[in-house]
Chain A
């Protein structure tokens, strides 16, 4: 009973969401979720669902306790609004999240479902570690909770982590308890000449919050280090870097900071930090091989987005060459997957490669969603 256009629903409570899901499950209707809509172009587009659920009605702040470093909110709440709420307590939310998506209305649930990453994953715990608890609605409408709302808790399986990065394919995140961080008083930036220097900073005593590498197509890679904290500390650490690392210069927050590369195709490459300089070198070679410009941007920790292609050319072959080259270059210390591409490219390339543990993921999907009703085609490898 595939419909040309999906039905829409906008539940206002977890119970309403559960009723919708129970009904859809009974009728064998497929369901997809929409938060801020900022990740529609990421991952394969998937099949048109029978029902599209707008999470905008579940946007309440349920609890905010700065003294306990926690905020509990509906999944449909906008990150920008939650950041404002956290700011009232001198704290901040999701320090590691791309600014371009926040600016476009990304929601808490969407951020978690898509496991978005940003620069500051070095100085803070990554997103998956700050999600303390979730309420999820399963394919059959069951409301289940896991984790809790305290910063330390090991009771039961950590289903919050399972939901983080599941792209709506295992259940719908309805509300979330998240850990907050004190907002640093100041920030400072230092520019460095290349990827090797970036790695040296990672191994130094500078304690950076972020070390980002950016390489424009055809150009040289440069790195920008961010330090945060008390003004005296930021000043001292910035000065120390300028003194210690050849070619380092005081800088400002670059215009591209925390914003993803804009290109027809984006590949996500995650590598062991030790391989970062080599990866950057590989990109120059690949540009020559494919005859297309490649933009590289990401964290020296080893998570990069590679933007490929020009708007007027078909990027399919270039995409395939880059994916295959990176995968053959280093297997277990790297993963290269397609993040964002035109529909035609998804069909023509091996978007995921060999995913460690894929068999277990398949079984988990079959257990949680045996009828394949949740976000069909949006997960990795057809999950």
Chain B
């Protein structure tokens, strides 16, 4: 009997009918997440409805040495939920209950499959919301947000998912159920929640989450500002930040991204603009009003064209629609595209965008730029036609070179999409062997057998108990003169 058959034999009698998927065609529907280029059909799929069922499945995997992968809504863009061919895919989307909302405590307790926006919709009538808002918020799950430490357009001001989680129930890689944190703001000891958020499912499976709810702001104002060029828009962003304003969001799109959005959703952005900024201000009404005047003045300093202030939720919605649909929209102007996710120090925006266009030219591909301009998180969209021979490879090369560019500026290979299976190979460009080995020490504490989402995040994990490689000398980024110690 194979190991996977042993798992099946063990869990089948203990789970409700329909929980286990063995049929190949049905298993195939889970072969990828939002990054469809990486596909693997899982050996077995289990749709769970409780912490106890997750623990049962994981214990069986642990006993028979079978890898397992947790999957939420499957909207991730780095292959973080890509199944394992000899493993069990644990589908969390079926754990979709909001268990408790306590407005005085400003807390909610949810199952991990709860859709991000559903929680906000539930809390909105009482004046609260769940602050992390990735563009996929109408479909992505809160468990996935925890795994990826999701950000979104508003994280510059409100922080990532990790800032909004105060407790969780964790099923460890050995199948034990551990309660971590709770409703209080802080608990003694090591920051386990801090390391679980963003660990991409490699430290166990979170089966219940206590999150903070945030008061809806008194006023929100959204501005759409057209500029001649991304340079001018970038300089306006710098001036807004140095004026001491912390906008809820500052997003930028370049001409190609605007063209795509226009074709897809007719968002009616300023015609002929070389770049647009979407600036959102929120807070007490008086602050928003004062800040709006400053933003407009700073934008005019950089020869802003049209400045549109959304007067109501409908107009605000339309402005955001252009931005939030940008990834999908490029499908209108290109048969294929790669969504890249890199980070640079924001002040380097101008030179980096210039280098990106050089890279695009040299590789013979087009690049549309959409990004969170407030925090330097770039989303270059590398456009190509997969039907033309060699184009996919060229796009892949351009995409990789953009990441190298981000690193050479002292940035990061991912700001919010995660490493997953897609970028594991880039980790050694950002970190030394010592850095990666140190992360593995943590991994070994949680998952010594490497069964929880193996093959993600790290290129070549060493075995637990194996002595670390010791080398000495400078960090690769330092050697290249690209970064100071950080």
Binding site for B on A (CB under 8 A): 14, 62-63, 65-70, 72, 90, 115, 117, 121, 125-126, 128-129, 133, 135-136, 138, 142-159, 161-162, 164-166, 170, 175, 177, 181-185, 199, 202-207, 229-230, 232-233, 236-237, 268, 270-275, 299, 301-303, 332-335, 337, 352, 355-361, 363-368, 379-381, 383
Contact = CB atoms under 8 A, between A and B. Distances in A.
Contacts of B411: 148, 150, 153
Given A68-B376, A166-B190, A332-B183, A236 B286 contact: yes
19 contacts: A68-B346, A72-B486, A90-B244, A121-B185, A144-B432, A145-B486, A150-B376, A150-B412, A152-B372, A152-B375, A153-B412, A153-B414, A154-B198, A158-B198, A205-B218, A268-B188, A270-B185, A274-B107, A352-B189
Contacts of A129: 159-160, 162-163
Contacts of A272: 102, 105, 107, 182-184
A65 B427 contact: no
Contacts of A70: 345
Contact of B410 (A135, A149, A155, A185): A149
A357 B191 CA distance: 10
B184 A271 contact: yes
Contacts of A151: 156, 346, 375-376
Contact of A380 (B104, B188, B423): B188
Given A146-B439, A154-B418, A230-B290, A135 B105 contact: no
Nearest to A339: B188
B463 interface: no
B192 interface: yes
Rank and list the top 4 A-B pairs by shortest CB-CB distance, nearest first.
Answer: A161-B194, A274-B105, A272-B183, A144-B438
Nearest to B102: A274
Nearest to B458: A156
B283 A207 contact: yes
B314 interface: no
Nearest to A175: B485
Interface of B: 102-107, 127, 148-149, 151, 155-156, 159-160, 162-163, 167, 170, 172, 178-192, 194-195, 197-199, 215, 217-218, 238, 241-242, 244-246, 283-284, 286-287, 290, 343-347, 372, 375-377, 410-419, 423, 427, 430-432, 434-439, 441-446, 457, 468, 470, 475, 483-486
B179 A332 contact: yes
Contacts of B163: 125-126, 129
A361 B189 contact: yes
Taking each of A117, A299, A363, A381, which has the highest tally of chain B beta carbons within 10 Å of its own beta carbon? A363
A354 B484 CA distance: 42
B410 A148 contact: yes
Nearest to A182: B244
A90 B198 contact: no
Nearest to B239: A67
Contact of A157 (B148, B417, B439): B439
Contacts of A135: 485-486
Contact of A302 (B159, B185, B438): B185
A68 B414 CA distance: 17
Given A272-B183, A361-B190, 10 more contacts: A142-B434, A152-B372, A152-B412, A156-B439, A157-B457, A182-B244, A233-B284, A237-B286, A272-B102, A360-B192
A303 B190 contact: no
A125 B178 contact: no
Contacts of A273: 104-106, 185
A303 B185 contact: yes
A335 B106 contact: no
A365 B189 CA distance: 11
A124 to B, nearest CB: 9
Contact of A333 (B155, B183, B432): B183
Taking each of A154, A202, A268, A333, which has the highest tally of chain B beta carbons within 10 Å of its own beta carbon? A154
Contact of B419 (A121, A156, A363, A381): A156
Nearest to A272: B183
A352 B106 CA distance: 26
Nearest to B194: A161
Contacts of A115: 186, 191
B435 A161 contact: no
A304 to B, nearest CB: 10
Contact of B445 (A153, A164, A364): A364
Contacts of A204: 215
A142 B440 CA distance: 13
A335 B412 contact: no
Taking each of A135, A156, A229, A359, which has the highest tally of chain B beta carbons within 10 Å of its own beta carbon? A156
B485 A14 contact: yes
A205 B151 CA distance: 24
A143 B302 CA distance: 44
A159 B442 contact: yes
A146 B430 CA distance: 10
B188 A335 contact: yes
A352 B190 CA distance: 13
A313 B188 CA distance: 28
A210 to B, nearest CB: 13
A194 to B, nearest CB: 15
Nearest to B409: A150
Contacts of A379: 189
B191 A153 contact: no
Contacts of B443: 157
Taking each of A146, A153, A379, which has the highest tally of chain B beta carbons within 10 Å of its own beta carbon? A153
A126 B107 CA distance: 17
Given A62-B485, A154-B418, A360-B446, A335 B199 contact: no
B186 A185 contact: no
A333 B184 contact: yes
B194 A333 contact: no
Contact of A335 (B162, B186, B444): B186
Contacts of A90: 242, 244
Contacts of A146: 431, 435, 438-439
A164 B441 CA distance: 17
B427 A155 contact: yes
A359 B431 CA distance: 29
B219 to A, nearest CB: 9
Taking each of A67, A229, A233, A357, which has the highest tally of chain B beta carbons within 10 Å of its own beta carbon? A357
A92 to B, nearest CB: 11
A136 B442 CA distance: 14
Contact of B484 (A62, A156, A202, A368): A62
A157 B197 CA distance: 9
A379 B163 CA distance: 24
Contacts of B485: 14, 62, 72, 135, 145, 175
A154 B415 CA distance: 5
Contacts of A232: 286, 290
Given A129-B163, A159-B439, A67 B242 contact: yes
Taking each of B180, B431, B443, B486, which has the highest tally of chain A beta carbons within 10 Å of its own beta carbon? B486
Contacts of A145: 431-432, 435, 475, 485-486
A24 to B, nearest CB: 16
Contacts of A335: 182, 184, 186-188
Taking each of A65, A181, A206, A332, which has the highest tally of chain B beta carbons within 10 Å of its own beta carbon? A332
Nearest to B184: A270
Contacts of A368: 441, 445
A175 B486 contact: yes
Given A175-B486, A356-B180, A199 B189 contact: no
Nearest to A369: B441
Contact of A199 (B104, B179, B182, B483): B104
B345 A149 contact: yes
Nearest to B288: A233
A69 B436 CA distance: 27
